[in-house]
Structure formats: structure tokens, C-alpha cells
Amino acid sequence: MMRVCTALQMAAIDRATIDGGVSSLELMERAGRVVADHALEFLAEHAGGGHGHDHGHEHPCGGGPEGCGDADCGDDCGHGESADAVLVVCGRGNNGGDGLVVARLLAEEGAPVVVMLLAAPKELTADARANLERLPEGVEVVAPRPSDWPDVYRELASGCAVTIDAVLGTGARLPLPDDLADLLRAMNDTAVPTLAIDIPSGVSGDDGLVAPVAVAADLTVTIGLPKLGLLLPPGRDYAGQVEVADIGFDPGLCDRLAGPWHWLERGEYLCLLPPRPTSVHKGQCGRLLVVAGSRAYGGAAHLAGLGGLRSGIGLLTLAAPAGLEVPLRIALPEALVRALPETVAGTLAPLSVEAAAALVAGADAVVLGPGLGDDPATDAWVRDLLPTLAGPLVLDADGLNALARIGQAPAFASRAVVLTPHPGEFARLLGLSTADVAARRLELAAEAADRWGCVVVLKGSPAVIGVPGEGVYVNASGDDALARGGSGDVLAGLIGGLLAQGLAARDAALLGCYVHGLAGTAAAREMSSRGVLVREVAAAIGPQWLAMEREASSDAALRERLWPSLPPEAAR
């Protein structure tokens, strides 16, 4: 897992690395090399990728390391004449210097490259200027006036397959001046795929803010560590696919200087998949109990059950008010349904200690709370039940609201507990406003996890997962497809199912949030984020597992861990 940093923290890591004996020019070279490798793959994906012929030509109006200097030179310069040319747009700072390294390395690989330079050479940083001077003769450099940036960009981009965004780095000062904003709008107005270096230009590296516009990248190759602004809205919406470029920063230095935030790459989520020998039977795949539903919120029990079933468990028991028994049996024939006594309001009536113990006996994990309603009698029963649950637990929705209404701080008998509040529920538990929670999401999730001794999944965009003693993990998936009632019920069931299969609370929360987010995005691709239904999100979980399993099967060590061979007696 990787630490996440702000722009200032990344700058501190850079300075400490330079003080340790690595020159800033060397760091720029390392960054450019890794980005160039990604750019070659990106170019191959978006163009013919054939660079075997000679693309070199000289700019008749002075192209080359010194730049054109006149956007209206009147000559037919033939900018980007190849269909697979690369346009590198470079600012005056070190982000632009990274872009110049990429331009040189792509040219050395045979790609036709055009550089659009947004400053005179003397205005560049020293390292950027050094890399401008290292460009080979075949690379065109065009340096138009700021007022001409949008038009020149459109002209150059019309003949290129890919744009490299090296305009601004993580320290962009917002709001942007008009000339830069106009350029970024022009970059977004073309159909040319864009790779951003470190962070899309116009996105704040600290908090993801955009004012008034940012480059909408298809791929962002971020240097060293993920930047917080790439993971938070609205910045995350501009980043596209995010890849982290390792350029040799000392891990201990990163741990010491970065923030208390973590981010997982795809391969790390693959490592969280629970093992599943092909010879197991249903009793060995986890038994999940979901206690949910009321007359007013019967769908919550159904959706939480769907999430549990899609997690890979062997057995699901839905415990719900008696009035929901028939609908649940029809809707989820794969589940066992336990009809429980109900109040006049159609909520769960309190069970005796003996009946409650019998209900949870044999369950490998319990999900408690979706759709229970706000009956005081049910609230009191939830309060009394929690101290008796010694196994893995997901407490969701009205299970959390019950504690808030009673005024009781969360406390649990189990050491494997995941809370899954949305911001309103979290605010009620903390005695804060929803606005307070929105302003301090990462900080409050970490504090609550430490105080209550459990994993806290604070839902939102993105979901953040507070883990006792570890800080916060920022979920790497999800979008507005999940912004609808019931999606949290599916998530609670999914995390509960992963707990039932033996995952630790942290890992179940991380993997559950990630797959749930992927499923939402996949379902929205078919139905749009406006029209997708929550049950379609649940249905899309299966294909996400399949894709992850296929990736994991190509790694020998992962394959052996996820599909171990069981002796015959263990499989009976």
C-alpha cells in the first residue's frame, strides 16, 4: 500500500531526497523515463504505434530548442503531420521540465514529437531549461503568445494522436489566470486523448479543488506517491486512470513525511481476495446472518442480502420482521429467511437473550441495521444485542442511528467490527453537523476508528476507511452511480460476506468498497449513472470478481494462495 501526500509533503520529500545526494536534474530524468514508458503504451493504444519510419522535419520558421516565438508566422509548418504524433504541452516549471524529458525520450524511440512551450527559454526553471537544450533536432518546439495558446493548441492537436499535459504541477495556484484557463478549455474541447504528468493541470494537489477548469485526462501518471488532490472530488473526476511512477524515493522517507492516508493499487486489491479452493462445500465458504428490514424499509433487507450473496458466501440467512417473510423468500430464493416477531409499526420486536443467542449461533459474521426503522423498542434491542455479538460484525444504517438516538457511544464485544455510516449518520454519532463531517472527512474517520476501536467506512465520494492505529485508506473506485438509496445496503452485505469468509475487518472493508465502486461504474456504463438501479449494481459485482480472478490467476503465487489444493478429507 502507498502513502498519500499533499503538494507540500511531496515537495518536502523531493528536498530531502536532493539533500541526500540525488540531484534535482536526476529526479526529473527518472520521472520523465517512467512517464515516457507509460506514454509509449498510451500511444500504442490510441494510435498505430508504428514509429519505424522517418518523421523528422525542420520547422521553417525557427522550430527547435529555441522555439517558434510567432504563432502567426504564415508558413505551412506541418505541425504534427503524422497521425501518431505526440503533442507535449509544457509549462515553465518543473512539471514542464518533466514533459521535456518525455518529449526527448519519445523522440529517441522514433515517435514524432511536437512541443508547445508556454514560456520563453529564459523563463524556465534551470532543470527545465537544461532539458529543453537536450531535445534532439527532430523535435519541433512552438512557443506562441499566451493570447494565441488556444488556437495554436487546436492546430497542433489536429494532427496528433496523444497530448501530454505538462503545463502545471501539484502546486498550481488557483484560480487560474484567464490565458491558462482558456488553454485548458481548448485541451478539453478536442478529442485527442490526454496523459497528464503528476496531476491534471488545474487540479490542486492538496484538496482536489478546480477553479475554474482543469485538464480532463484519460491517464494520470503521478510521480512518487499519489497526491490527495487526485483522490478527492472534483480532482478525481479529471484524473482518469491513475498510475503511480516509482522513481526511487526512500520508503522510510515517504512514511515519515507523507500524510496519514493510504491508497491501494489494483494488484494490492487482488491480494485481498479470500482463498477459495475448488473442492470446498457451502459450509466452508462462510455463513452470513443479515438482520434487517421493517415494514417501511423492506427493500433494505433484500438489497443487503443481494450484497451478501454476491460476496461469495456459502449460506445467507435473512432475519427480518415476519411481514417480510414471503416477499423475501420470493425475491431471494437463495437465502434462508428467519421470520422474527414484529412491533405494531412493523419493526423488529425485541428478542429474549436466549432467542437472540440462537439467532446468531453458527453465523461467521453478522450484518445489523439496514432498514430497521426508528422504533424505540427496536433501538433498545439493538443496544442490548451489541455486547453479545463476539464475532465479526457490520453495523449499518439504523443500527448506527439506534446508538445515536439513544445517545450511546459505539462499543463492541467483537474485535472485528466495521461501521458503514453515510455522512448524516456519522454526524449524528459524533454530535456534529453534516457540513462539519464533509469538511473533515478524513480526519474524523481516523479519529473515530481510533476512539471506537473499529473500522469506520465513511461513505461518499470517495469512500474513506478509517482503521485503528493506521489512519485512513482512500477508496480507489466509485462514482455517482452509487448516489442512490439502497447502494449502502448492498455494500453492508458485501462487506459482511467478506468478513464471513475470514477476511480481517480492514481487508473486508477495503475490498468491499473497491469492488462495490467498480460494480457501480460498470453498471452505469450500461445504464448511465442516471438510470442504473441498485440491484443492477449488485448484479455487476460478479463480473468484477471474474475480472480480478483472471488477473490473479496469471500470477503463480497468487494463484496458489487463492486456489489452494485441499486434501480429500478437508473437502468433505
Q: pLDDT means per 10 residues in the chain (572 residues)? A: 94 96 97 97 75 32 39 39 82 97 97 97 96 96 97 95 96 93 97 97 96 97 96 95 95 95 96 91 94 97 98 98 97 97 96 96 97 96 95 98 95 95 97 96 98 97 96 95 96 98 98 98 95 97 97 92 72 44
Biggest CA–CA distance in the chain, Å, is 90
Burial class (CB in 10 A: 0-12, 13-18, 19+), 16: middle
Q: Indicate if the alpha-carbon torsion angle 236, 4, 434, 450 is positive or negative.
A: positive
Report the pLDDT value the prediction gives residue 71, as an integer from 0 to 100: 38
pTM above 0.85, yes or no: yes
Q: Among 226, 259, 292, where does a domain finish? A: 259
Q: Is 270 inside a domain boundary?
A: no
Contacts of 407 (CB under 8 A, 6+ apart): none
CA angle 50, 56, 58 (to 5 degrees): 155
Are both 372 and 512 inside the same structural domain? yes
Q: Is 52 inside a domain boundary?
A: no
Number of domains in the chain: 2
Count of CB atoms situated within 10 Å of the CB of 409: 11
Are both 192 and 287 inside the same structural domain? no
Are both 461 and 413 inside the same structural domain? yes
Amino acid at 172: A
Contact present, 45 and 195 (Cβ < 8 Å)? no
> Is residue 281 classed as helix, strand or coil in its secondary structure?
coil
Burial class (CB in 10 A: 0-12, 13-18, 19+), 20: exposed
Q: Indicate if the alpha-carbon torsion angle 64, 69, 71, 75 is positive or negative.
A: negative
Q: What is the CATH number of the domain that holds 157?
A: 3.40.50.10260
CA distance 490 to 494: 6
Are both 292 and 255 inside the same structural domain? no
Are both 246 and 286 inside the same structural domain? no
Dihedral of the alpha carbons of 64, 65, 71, 76, in degrees to the nearest 10: 0
Contact present, 173 and 92 (Cβ < 8 Å)? no
Contacts of 272 (CB under 8 A, 6+ apart): 503, 507, 510, 511
Host domain of residue 335: 282-562
Amino acid at 319: A
Q: Is 520 inside a domain boundary?
A: yes
> Is residue 456 classed as helix, strand or coil in its secondary structure?
strand
Q: Is 275 inside a domain boundary?
A: no
> Is residue 457 classed as helix, strand or coil in its secondary structure?
strand
Amino acid at 553: S
Are both 472 and 436 inside the same structural domain? yes
Q: What is the CATH number of the domain that holds 544?
A: 3.40.1190.20
Amino acid at 471: G
CA distance 229 to 34: 21
Q: Is 134 inside a domain boundary?
A: yes
- Report phi then psi at 142, rounded to 5: -120, 125
CA distance 566 to 212: 58
Report the pLDDT value the prediction gives residue 531, as an integer from 0 to 100: 96
Q: Is 266 inside a domain boundary?
A: no
Are both 89 and 178 inside the same structural domain? yes
> Is residue 140 classed as helix, strand or coil in its secondary structure?
strand
Nearest to 167 by CA among 147, 156, 153: 153
Amino acid at 448: A
Measure CA 191 to chain center: 25
CA distance 222 to 218: 13
Cell of 378: 427496536
Amino acid at 375: D
CA angle 210, 212, 216 (to 5 degrees): 60
Q: Is 28 inside a domain boundary?
A: yes
CA distance 568 to 557: 22
What stretch of H or E contains 85? Answer: strand 85-90
Are both 238 and 343 inside the same structural domain? no
β-strands 315-321, 287-291 pairing: parallel
Are both 181 and 40 inside the same structural domain? yes
DSSP secondary structure code for residue 120 in this structure: -
Nearest-Å Rg of the Cα atoms of the chain is 27
Are both 345 and 250 inside the same structural domain? no
Are both 215 and 84 inside the same structural domain? yes
Amino acid at 57: H
The b/e string for 351-389 (b: 16+ C-beta within 10 A; e otherwise) is beeeebeebbeebbbbbbbbbbbebeebbebbeebbeeb
Alpha helices in 82-225 (DSSP H): 94-108, 126-133, 149-157, 178-189
Are both 124 and 190 inside the same structural domain? yes
Nearest to 154 by CA among 116, 118, 117: 116
